[in-house]
Amino acid sequence: PLKLTGPQLLCQLKERVEVSTLTQDLQPFASLPWSSQLPARNITSEIGPYKTCAVVSSAGSMKNSRLGKEIDSHDAVLRFNAAPTVGFENDVGSKTTLRLINSQVMASEDHRFLSSSLYSSGILVAWDPAPFSADLHQWFNRTDYPIFAQFQRYRRLHPLQPFYIVHPRFEWQLWQRIQANMAEQIQKNPPSSGLLGTVLMMSLCEVVHVYEFLPSKRKTELCHYYQKFHDAACTLGAYHPLLYEKNLVKRMNQGSDKDIYLSGRVTLPGFSALNC
Ligand code: NCC
């Protein structure tokens, strides 16, 4: 494919990726007894807009970064899955405005999704690897993990906490932007939570700073800053097309290479700030 410039890539994302979440009027959900547990409107019409936002990757290279204060200075902070702040404030900050979780986290016993205090503050956004068709009926009948059963249980326990579910169209439209801008064939698995969250925040914020998605000089095989587990695949990808995602973000970055090297920081404009 023709190699697009950073600004062209940004406009492609803005124009071709619809950041959407499930609403109660969508079939098959509208016909189910629990449809009213889904939000009435799309996340982008209920949340934000924020001026400045931080996206905090869970990478091991966050460790010893001392980025906590800088991260907390943003109007909104997005974190992923089981990533904690308690005990890691110096490096990752303590503010959590949104948490993006995959359906594996919601379903697996060891994450104690229904009872752990990790998930009970801030706005929750969940996603499940849906079939490529992005057809809601097909997906509903074969989700990767039981996202809808867990969603209903969670909503009963925490009825006041905002909780959105990513529309599979968003996953696959984003996947198509990655594929369309790469010479090689990439695996047909959805983008990682990292890229989904970054684009979600681009739709809610004027400016987005992403930390340690593109690894800094602290790059390490330590998978997460909060766990003693080493695997280079966490940074480079296996199931997710992570390396390609990072290539795309590198091309869209409006900050300097020095920012990446020293702070692992990427600067992206929000969609509202783009003149396409
Ligand atoms: O590891 P995970 O991701 O929760 O990390 C969140 C996002 O941070 C970025 N990251 C993470 C580690 C690293 N060394 N470099 C990075 O760049 C990635 O963008 C990543 O998306 C996920 O995407 O949801 C993922 O979830 C985990 C796991 O399910 C949860 O952590 C819960 O335990 C997946 N790991 C496994 O399934 C074993 C991971 O593949 C993707």
At residue 1, the pLDDT reads: 57
Q: How far, in Å, from the CA of 46 to the mean position of ligand 1?
A: 27
274 band by pLDDT with thresholds 50, 70 and 90: very high
Residue of 81, 243, 265 best suited for mutating to test ligand 1, as the one with most atoms within 8 Å of CB:
81
Which residue among 192, 196, 223 is best mutated to probe the pocket of ligand 1, counting the most ligand atoms within 8 A of its Cβ?
192
The torsion defined by the Cα of 20, 194, 171 and 136, in degrees rounded to 10, comes to -70
Average pLDDT for 170-194: 96
Give SS3 for 35.
helix
The pocket around ligand 1, CB under 6 angstroms, is made up of 57-60, 80-82, 102, 104-105, 192-194, 213, 223-224, 234-235, 239-240
H-helix segments, 108-239: 136-141, 147-157, 168-180, 193-202, 233-236
Per-residue pLDDT, 23? 98
Q: Report domain extents, the chain.
A: 6-266
pLDDT digit string (tens) for 99-136? 999 999 999 999 999 999 999 999 999 999 999 988 99
Encoding tokens for residue 149?
A: 């059963």
The CATH superfamily holding the domain 6-266 is Glycosyl transferase family 29 (3.90.1480.20)
Ligand 1 atom 41: the closest Cα is on which residue? 192
CA 51 – ligand 1 centroid, Å: 26
Residue nearest to atom 37 of ligand 1 (CA): 104
With a pLDDT cut of 70, the percent of the chain lying above it is 100
Q: Which atom of ligand 1 is nearest the CA belonging to 81?
A: 4
What is the share, in percent, of the chain residues with pLDDT greater than 90?
Answer: 97
Average pLDDT, the chain: 97
| Helix, strand, coil percentages in the chain from 3-state DSSP, rounded to 5 | 40, 15, 45
Q: Tell which atom from ligand 1 comes closest to the C-alpha of 105.
A: 32
Predicted local distance difference test score (pLDDT) of residue 134: 83
Contact 68, 85 (CB under 8 A): no
> Quick count: other Cβ atoms within 10 Å of Cβ 171?
22
Per-residue pLDDT reduced to its tens digit, 126-141: 999 999 988 999 999 9
* Ligand 1 midpoint to CA 193 (Å): 7
Ligand 1 atom at shortest distance from the alpha carbon of 242: 19
Ligand 1 center from residue 31 Cα (angstroms): 34
Per-residue pLDDT band at 236 (split at 50, 70, 90) = very high
Task: Please compute the mean of the pLDDT values over residues 236-243 and round it to a whole number.
Answer: 93
**Residues 185-209, mean pLDDT to the nearest whole number:** 98
